[in-house]
Structure 1
Amino acid sequence: MDCHAICLETATHCLEKGGPHAEVDHIRLLLDCAEICQTSANFMLRGSDLHTLTCEVCAETCEQCGDSCEQFENDPQLQACAQACRSCADACQAMAEEAGVE
């Protein structure tokens, strides 16, 4: 849920900054990441048998979002978002691998 929150906050931050921060692909990725993080959390909270599949997609999305945010080296908000995305990706990948999804 932390990654969900920071990605939404960062999307707003980027839109306010404008320019390269507000590129469509970057904003879309932030919103995709927020959405899949929420979806994965909901699947886990419900005890869904499919949560390992959402975790696999979440891990990949978080990796891509982290890569996108890391490009803005002088922006603390984006660096914090990249770190949260990396942490979430690692946790989701571990859950997916634990269940045998690779």
Structure 2
Amino acid sequence: MAHEQHQQLLETLHDCMAACNHCFDACLQEDDVKMMAGCIRLDRECADMCAYLEQAITRNSPFVSQLAKVCAEICQACGDECQKHADMHDHCKHCAEACHKCAEACRSIA
């Protein structure tokens, strides 16, 4: 699977990773950090998985489909958690949108 074929997915993965990293950092600045603990944890998991899948695609890993399935699950979970805080925090709203878009893109190749 050549990474040139998946340029749009690579961009979606990168955008999701960046949104999760931003949300992670912004959540740590919130007054009630404990309330954001689930969001923070999933932001980290999602950013790391997106970065790993991006690398796997660019090196033509034979495990891309399996990794994409896991990535879709993590992105969906992160997006769902961020959605819970979207009314209060713009960074969570943006992250939820990026995660749900990435989950959909990953499902398309899983």
TM surpasses 0.5: yes
Query: Equivalent pairs: percent with the same residue?
Result: 33
**Does structure 1 residue 76 correspond to structure 2 residue 90?**
yes
| Equivalent residues in 2 for 1:10-21, closer than 5 Å | 10-19=23-32
Q: Which residue of 1 aligns with 2:100?
A: 86
- Which stretch of structure 1 is more off in the superposition, 81-90 or 18-27? 18-27
Aligned pairs, number: 96
**Could you state the TM-score of these two structures normalised by the residue count of structure 2?**
0.82
Contact kept, 8 Å, 1:11 with 1:30, in 2: the verdict is yes
Q: Distance in 2 between matches of 1:35 and 1:93?
A: 18
Shift of 1:22: 5.4
**Does structure 1 residue 28 correspond to structure 2 residue 41?**
yes
Shift of 1:18: 3.4
Q: Deviations over 1:31-84 (max 9, x none)?
A: 000000000110001111101111000000000000100011232111010000
Output the aligned Cα RMSD: 1.4
Structure number with higher relative contact order (C-alpha < 8 Å, ≥ 6 residues apart): 2
Contact kept, 8 Å, 1:15 with 1:21, in 2: the verdict is no
Shift of 1:24: 2.7
Q: Which residue of 1 aligns with 2:9?
A: none
- CA 1:21–1:10 in 2, change beyond 3 Å: closer, same or farther? farther
**Could you state the TM-score of these two structures normalised by the residue count of structure 1?**
0.88
Task: Specify every segment of 5 or more residues in structure 1 that has no aligned partner in the other structure, as ranges.
Answer: 97-102
Q: Which residue of 2 aligns with 1:100?
A: none
